[in-house]
Amino acid sequence: MSRCVIIGGAEIREYDLVRSYFRSDDRYYYCDSGLLHKEALGAPPTLIIGDFDSHPKPDLPVETIVLPCEKDDTDTVYAVREALFRGMNEFLLIGVTGQRLDHTLGNVSILLWLDALDKQALIADDYGEMTVVSRRAALIPDSFAWFSLLNISGTAAGITVRNAKYPLENATIDCEYQYGISNEVLPGKTAEVSVGEGRLLLIKIRK
């Protein structure tokens, strides 16, 4: 099954870096002003979605869904919903963090939504990656300078962190006390994070 790449309108500076995530079978869903990145990314749109309040409606020979400006779903959420309807099981979201904090936090919540549906999802930007750790352990190579574990959904328990400067064993992190910030992978090692109960947001920051 192909992966769905959702492209939002937040700033992207390191286009070469973002392109390094792309795969040959990816399908690209551009959301409104995400179209500003189309030429620099060199990724042909599979689908264009938006209310076009921040970018003119394009005149391209590509399937385009025009949304009303007044709606519950953001353009990005609608794009994910449409991809799920079309049977997509894996997601990469780019151009969805930074600038507007409200949109950034809303887009991070998409990771929780997709995790609840047992779909694989990753947000990548100029600085690092974000994903949810729940059912499957996560690996962090030492090419990342730091990593943080944040609880943004209830309480996470049975947390284990290995091959890191600050290891954990059967730990608990709740939303009120976020002590899992700025850990480091041991040199030459690959850190491993697992969660026995609940889920955590894993943020990996590049060197």
Work out the average pLDDT over 114-143: 95
Q: So what's the pLDDT on residue 56?
A: 79
Residue 6 pLDDT > 80: yes
CA distance 10 to 65: 20
Burial of 13 (0-12, 13-18, 19+ CB in 10 A): exposed
Residues of the chain with CATH 3.40.50.10240: 4-126
Residues of the chain with CATH 2.60.120.320: 133-206
> Rounded to a whole number, what is the largest CA-CA distance in the chain?
55
Q: How confident is the model at residue 139 (pLDDT cuts 50, 70, 90)?
A: very high
Q: What class does CATH assign to 133-206?
A: mainly beta
Work out the average pLDDT over 174-191: 95
Q: Which two tokens stand for residue 44?
A: 């042909």
Q: How confident is the model at residue 199 (pLDDT cuts 50, 70, 90)?
A: very high
Q: How far is CA 114 from CA 74, 118, 133, 148, 163, in A?
A: 16, 6, 12, 20, 28
pTM value is 0.93
Task: Give the tens place of pLDDT for each residue, 63-94.
Answer: 999 888 888 889 999 999 999 999 999 999 99
Contact indicator for 114, 172 with CB cutoff of 8 Å: no
Task: Give the tens place of pLDDT for each residue, 28-51.
Answer: 999 988 999 999 999 999 999 988
CATH 3.40.50.10240, applies to 4-126: yes
